Structure 1
Amino acid sequence: MSSFWTGTKVRLRGVEPADWEVFQSFDAHSADARAVDRLYPPRSAAWFRESTKTRASHGGDDLDLAIESRRTGELVGSLSTGGVDRRAGRFSYGIGVGHQHQRNGYAREAITLLLGYMFSEQRLHKCEVKVYEFNEASLSLHRSLGFVEEGRLRAHEFFGGRHWDAVLLGMTLPEFLDRWEFPEV
C-alpha cells in the first residue's frame, strides 16, 4: 500500500520541531525569502526553534507540511494552506523550496499532491494563489499546472526599493480534473 502523501519525487509530512535548522538555512537566501514572503532581519536560532515547534503542533483546517526528497530523505521545502473557506469551497497555499533544491520538480509534485487532497478529500472547489510579479519561476510553474491568471493587485507589496504587483491565480476542481485524476480508493 502506498501513501497518498508520497509521489515519485517527494513525500509530504508534518513539520517536526527538529526541522528548525533547515528552515533557518532557507531563510538565509534573501531573494527566496522575498519571493515567498518578505525579507526579515536576521532571526535567532531560538526564534526558529520556537517558530518550528509552533508549526509542528499546528492543527485545524490549515495544513503545514514539510516537503522531503524521496531520493535523499532530505527536507527540501515546506507547503502550507491558508484561508480555507468551507462555505465558499476555496483555499489558498504558500510553498517554498530551499534555493539549493529548486528546479528539481519538488514544488510541482508537492502542489499536485496537495491539490489532490484538498479537492478529493476535503470537498473544496477552488484553489487561489498570489505570486509576486517578479517571481517568474513561480508564475511559470503555476501556469504550467493549469492555474489561470484572475487579476492583479497593483503596486501591492514593497521590496527592494519599489512596489510590485501581486498576480492572482486560480484553479477550480473541473480544471484540476482536466489534467489529473483522483487517486483510486
Structure 2
Amino acid sequence: MTDLWTGERVRLRGIEPQDWEGFRALALHTVDARNADVVEPPRSDESFRAWATERASRTPNPSSYQLVIETRFEHAFVGAVSVGETDTRAGRFRTGIEVTREHRRQGYAFEATELILTYMFAEQRCHKCEVEVYAFNDASLALYRKLGFVEEGRLRQHEYFAGTYHDVVLLGITADEYWAGRARPSLR
C-alpha cells in the first residue's frame, strides 16, 4: 500500500457537495438509521445538499473527521466512516461506520476500518480505538471482532428506541493488538 487512504477495493476521501445523495441513501431506512445512531424525522433533499456542501468546505481535523468510502475503481459511494472523541493525551479515539444497503457484506466496511485504524495508529500516535455497538447489531459486532476488537463491557438498557431500552456493547483494540499479524505502512 502506497497511499494510506486507498485499499485494494476502497478509497477514503473527503466529503464533496455531490455526496448528498449518498448520505440521503444512508438515512432512508429507519432500521439502518437506528443501527448507526438515532431515527430522525425525514429531511428534504435541500437539507442534505446544504449539509454536504457545508461539510465539503470544512478544513480537515486529524482528531475529528468524517470521510466518504467509495469503490476504488468505479468511484461509487459506499458509505462513510468517522473518527471522533479523540483524546490525544491518553491516545484514544472512537470510530464509526455506515455502509449503504447495496454494498453490505462485501468487505468494504472491514477495509475502510482498517485504513482508519492504520492512519490513527501509525500517523496520529494513538494507542487505542473504542467503539460502541448496539447489542442487537450482529453485523457490526462481527465486523469489529473480525478486526480484532475485544469486548470490554456492556452498558445495560443504555439507549431507548423502538419502544424499549437496549444494551450497548463496548469494544476496543490497542495498537499492539492491531499490528499483531499486520504489516505496518510502507515508507516508500
Q: Normalising by the residue count of structure 1, what TM-score does the alignment of the two structures yield?
A: 0.96
Counterparts of 2:101 and 2:29, CA distance in 1: 7
Q: In structure 1, what is the Cα distance between the partners aligned to 2:76 and 2:2?
A: 20
Q: State how far apart, in whole Å, the 2-side matches of 1:179 and 1:145 are.
A: 11
1:1-185 matches, cutoff 5 A = 2-58=2-58, 59-60=60-61, 61-185=63-187
Following the alignment from structure 1 to structure 2, what is the Cα–Cα distance between the partners of residues 57 and 91? Answer: 24
Runs of 5+ consecutive residues of structure 2 not aligned to the other structure? none
Cα displacement (A) at 1:66: 0.3
Contact 2:20–2:48 (CA under 8 A) maintained in structure 1: yes
Give the Cα–Cα distance (whole angstroms) in 2 for the partners of residues 174 and 116 of structure 1: 12
Q: Report the alpha carbon displacement of residue 71 of structure 1 after superposing the two structures with TM.
A: 3.9
- Letter of the 2:23 counterpart: F
User: Partners in 2 of 1:57 and 1:78 — Cα distance?
Assistant: 17
Tell me the amino acid that sits aligned with residue 70 of structure 1: R
CA distance in 1 between counterparts of 2:135 and 2:141 reads: 8
Cα separation, 1, equivalents of 2:106 and 2:54: 29
Structure 1: gaps of 5 or more residues: none
- Taking the aligned partners of 2:65 and 2:25, their CA distance within structure 1 comes to 22
Give the residue type in structure 2 aligned to 1:131.
Answer: V
**For residue 138 of structure 1, what is the amino acid of its counterpart?**
S
Q: Deviations over 1:58-114 (max 9, x none)?
A: 332212100001242101100010001100000001110001111110000000011
* Runs of 4+ off more than 3 Å: none
Distance 1:179 1:161 in 2: 43
Deviation digits for residues 107-159 of structure 1 (CA, Å, limit 9, x no counterpart)? 00000011000000000000000000110000011011100000011111112
Alignment RMSD (CA, Å): 1.3
Greater alpha carbon shift after TM alignment, 155-164 vs 74-83: 155-164
Deviation (angstroms), 1:54:
2.5
Q: Secondary structure at the match of 1:25?
A: helix
8 Å contact from structure 1 (residues 29, 99) kept in 2: no
Contact 2:2 2:186 in 1 (8 A): no
Q: For 1:167, give the aligned amino acid.
A: V
Pairwise CA distance, 1:39: 1.1
- 1:182 match: secondary structure: coil
Aligned residues: 185
The TM-score normalised by the length of structure 2 is 0.94
